[in-house]
A and B are shown apart, each in its own frame.
Chain A
Amino acid sequence: MAATVHDPVEADDDVLHHSATGLSNEKIAMWAFLASDCLLFGALISTYILYRGRSVVGPYPHGVYDIPYTSVSSFVLLMSSLTMVLALSAIQRNDQRRLRIWLLTTALLGTVFIGGQVYEFTSFVRMGLKIHTNLFGSSFFVLTGFHGTHVFIGVLMLMSLFSLSLKGKLPQEKAQTVELVGLYWHFVDVIWILIFTLVYLIPS
């Protein structure tokens, strides 16, 4: 092959695989996606706040919220961030056994949170609050349901990592994959802190 460019560079393998920023493509993509997701939750939370106290028929938030109950499930979700960090630390130390334990624990805590949400939704429906009951019902269920879907997708990803690890397909070199799922998981957690504060704790 003829040398074709002026000042031809010897193809250096490291250069070819070097990213321009030193970060991996996947990590930048995940940050970009999460940045986009911020706006998604931002618009939904704004909608909830805009419609706070504007429902013309009940049930109203103070009549259905069980703050101690939701505090417990929020605590469960927050703890799952800790176990996620432990999972990442485990794979970085190539400790597959602890990796699996912490991945499974994280997924379990996430599932407990979703279970808590299902129970909460059911009890709200029993109290007569449905999506078509009033503005509160519409904005509450869509916002928290949307967040719950995010947690559910996170649990799916955690379980996928767990099964990959069982099959021996999650070696230490792939620690980044765990890190990316972790980024997503922490993001979903942080969003819940916002939702819990703005939706549950601030009285309408």
Chain B
Amino acid sequence: MTEPIAYGQTPPLTARRSLLRRPTSTAGLWGWITTVDHKRIGIMYGVSAFVFFLLGGIEALLLRLQLGGPNQHVLSASAYNQVFTMHGTTMIFLVIMPMAAAFANYLVPIMIGARDVAFPRLNAFGFWTFLAGGLFMYSSFLLGGAPNGGWFGYVPQTLKAYSPGHNIDFWVFGLQILGIASLTGAINLIVTIINMRAPGMSFMRMPIFVWMSLVAQFLLLFALPVITVALFLLMFDRQFGGHFFDAQAGADPLLWQHLFWIFGHPEVYILILPAMGIVSEVLPVYARKPLFGYAVKVFSGIAIGFMGWGVWAHHMFATGLGPVAISAFGLSTMFIAVPTGVKIFNWLGTLWGGKLRITTPFLFAVGFVAMFTIGGLSGVTHAVVPADTQQTDTYYIVAHFHYVMFGGSIFGLFAGVYYWAPKVTGKMLSDFLGKIHFWLMLVGFNLTFGPMHILGLQGQPRRIYTYPAGRGWEFWNLVSTIGAFTIAASIVVFIVNVIRTKISDQPNVGADPWDARTLEWTIPSPPPEYNFAEEPLVTARDELWHRKYDEDGDGRAIRRELDYPVVMDEVPDEVHVHMPSPSYWPLVASFTLPAVAYGMIYRAWPVAIAAGVVEITALYSWALEPSTAPPDPDEGTEDHGPELDSGEPAAAELETADAD
């Protein structure tokens, strides 16, 4: 319950009541640590997710080294289980989800013409909690072994009787911490998109990325509690002797699979929808045409959001659900391919007849469409229940979901990285190196995962740590391993590109280097903390494009002759916008969560209780701290210049107490 600071009103002097002195500086390392700026938080999400991407990638290379030939000894069976579990968990929860969060955090407020998200400190809390959860899970490698039950953690395998170590405990608690991070992020972005759109930014004028993020956040909002309950029940079974998944006590272990996949299938769309949104932003810019069928695109995204709840049991066709259930879920799975297919045709329609500019973001976006189509088609083969029964737990499944998650999400996210890098940094990534990155990655990706279709149909099971010679699996496994290292090489090219760009003395690219269509390109690169010096008034979908171009009678774009600049290339002087102040409390509240978890895992109850007390203190201090600190009296009068805005309304963030 903080004071809502009305326009022009001096915030009350309540900061002295807090335990820690309120951070005031936004400079240096502490500036980043205490920041509540959605753009900095977005960048931190992106950088952390990329570091986890490298870790997950190294794990993937270890797996491929082990499987490159029969009877290899790179990893022991036990190490293999840990590495494949952490590879999957990392790539889903610590790479694609936070990478999507990075784009959403950075872009959504700007795209809708807002100055920040609805709850800036809750946003910081979400990021730090994600980082704390990721580090917590990785700390298991140093503390006796990483999670080893697969990213899906099926019971009874993950029960104490069969997994007696702490490996699974790290997974259970780690995912719960990450769930808190995602839940706060989802609430924050939903409120931001619904409530903070600039004047004129109606729902049907919102950029498609904002739409797809909104659908994904709603999926998160409703999917996360389900996996939270599943993890909660497993935690009770493992820590407190519960019987939720104990068949001998009359329980049904399939309950885990139902709960997990009721979360897990919407999760697939949580991972892919933001990438679809990115591709839908990128293609129109380089085709110099509006997105084909915007409304259909929006509604198919929403349709996917709804239908995604009715297909979960296709992950369980081999568990004996009975003919009625599997028929129903088989059909619903085929139906969900329809809105997905509609989207693919929309992208093709966008490209059709466009004046294509073959840039790196464009290539990644087209790569997304092609690879995702392959993954989508192999997905439809899973809907055919008899075929799926053959494919279950083989490398065919591995091939399928990597075409969707890597060929889909990762390609889409890289399209976004190359497209928005000049906005975030003010510098353009090298197009030449970018294209090398793209082609190496495309070839490497298909070499790695294409052969897995064949291996799967030949019967190579998933999750085996080695295989004997003479099954006919050697050749394609070797090809796959070579492909994996080709992908690694492409990532090295990307890193070189980023570093070269970073140290180059390239002049600032200006506000709109791509001749783009949406609001983020009207403001300087990188944008000032307050984003918009003046709140934009939106009059059209693709607002910036319509400010720049008119149409002639044949629908061709004609550049408007204007005597004023359409975009703002440089940060103007003398803009006084009162933005939310930095804060320590989100950070403290985040990093006490792993402390609670360590205390519970090692049954060090005083640690857990002490951490819990710190957590509650942090939440209270946060709730009582005004979102905008009082101005520093030593700073003279300059700070009291004309304010355009007093920052976002202070968040009555008492509800965060129950979000935890």
Contact = CB atoms under 8 A, between A and B. Distances in A.
Interface stretch (B142-150, B195-203, B452-460): B195-203
Contacts of A142: 232-233, 236, 242, 244
B535 A17 contact: no
A26 B533 CA distance: 25
30 contacts: A1-B572, A5-B522, A5-B536, A5-B547, A18-B199, A19-B196, A24-B649, A25-B119, A26-B651, A28-B190, A29-B190, A29-B191, A36-B187, A36-B221, A36-B224, A37-B225, A39-B223, A40-B228, A42-B225, A47-B233, A51-B251, A55-B249, A131-B236, A131-B241, A142-B236, A160-B654, A161-B1, A174-B652, A176-B652, A184-B658
Interface stretch (B90-98, B341-349, B358-366, B559-567): B559-567
A79 interface: no
Nearest to B536: A5
Contacts of A55: 249-250
Given A55-B250, A56-B249, A139 B199 contact: no
B417 interface: no
Contacts of B246: 135
Of residues B183, B225, B539, which shows the largest number of chain A Cβ atoms within 10 Å of its Cβ?
B225
A134 interface: yes
A194 B651 CA distance: 32
Contacts of A13: 7
A20 B195 contact: yes
B568 interface: yes
Interface in B174-208: 183, 186-188, 190-191, 194-197, 199, 201
B474 interface: no
Interface in B611-626: 620, 623
Given A5-B547, A157-B658, A161-B1, 13 more contacts: A4-B568, A5-B536, A17-B649, A20-B194, A30-B655, A36-B187, A51-B250, A131-B241, A131-B242, A157-B654, A160-B620, A176-B652, A184-B658
A118 B157 CA distance: 34
A131 B244 CA distance: 10
A35 B241 CA distance: 30
B296 interface: no
B222 interface: yes
Contact of A1 (B237, B242, B533, B620): B533
A138 interface: yes
A132 B183 contact: no
Contacts of A161: 1
B575 interface: yes
Contacts of A8: 534
A11 B535 contact: yes
B655 A29 contact: yes
B655 A33 contact: yes
B645 interface: yes
A185 to B, nearest CB: 11
A177 B75 CA distance: 56
Contacts of A173: 4
A21 B194 contact: yes
Given A33-B187, A131-B236, A20 B197 contact: yes
B634 interface: no
3 tightest A-B contacts by CB?
Answer: A132-B241, A43-B229, A40-B225
Interface string B217-257: 00001111110111011001100111110101111100100
Contact of A36 (B7, B225, B539, B654): B225
Interface in B627-660: 644-645, 648-649, 651-652, 654-655, 657-659
Contact of A4 (B186, B191, B567, B573): B567
Contacts of B236: 131, 138, 142
A6 interface: yes
B657 A156 contact: yes
A23 interface: yes
A202 interface: no
Contact of B657 (A47, A131, A153): A153
Interface of B: 1, 4, 7, 118-119, 183, 186-188, 190-191, 194-197, 199, 201, 221-226, 228-230, 232-233, 236-237, 240-244, 246, 248-252, 255, 259, 262, 522, 533-537, 539, 547, 562, 564-568, 572-575, 620, 623, 644-645, 648-649, 651-652, 654-655, 657-659
A9 B649 contact: no
Given A17-B7, A132-B242, A2 B572 contact: yes
B644 A23 contact: no
Contacts of B652: 26, 174, 176-177, 180
A96 to B, nearest CB: 15
B191 A28 contact: yes
Given A4-B567, A33-B187, A33-B658, A16 B7 contact: yes
Contacts of A138: 236-237, 242-244
A25 B651 contact: yes
A85 interface: no
Given A25-B649, A47-B255, A157-B654, A40 B575 contact: no
Nearest to B221: A36
A108 interface: no
Nearest to B254: A50
Contact of B240 (A17, A131, A176): A131
A20 B201 contact: yes
A6 B534 CA distance: 12
B573 A1 contact: yes
A180 B242 contact: no
Given A5-B536, A17-B7, A176-B652, A39 B194 contact: no
A97 interface: no
Given A1-B573, A47-B255, A157-B657, A28 B199 contact: no
Nearest to A24: B649
B195 A19 contact: yes
A3 B524 CA distance: 14
A134 B564 CA distance: 75
A83 to B, nearest CB: 19
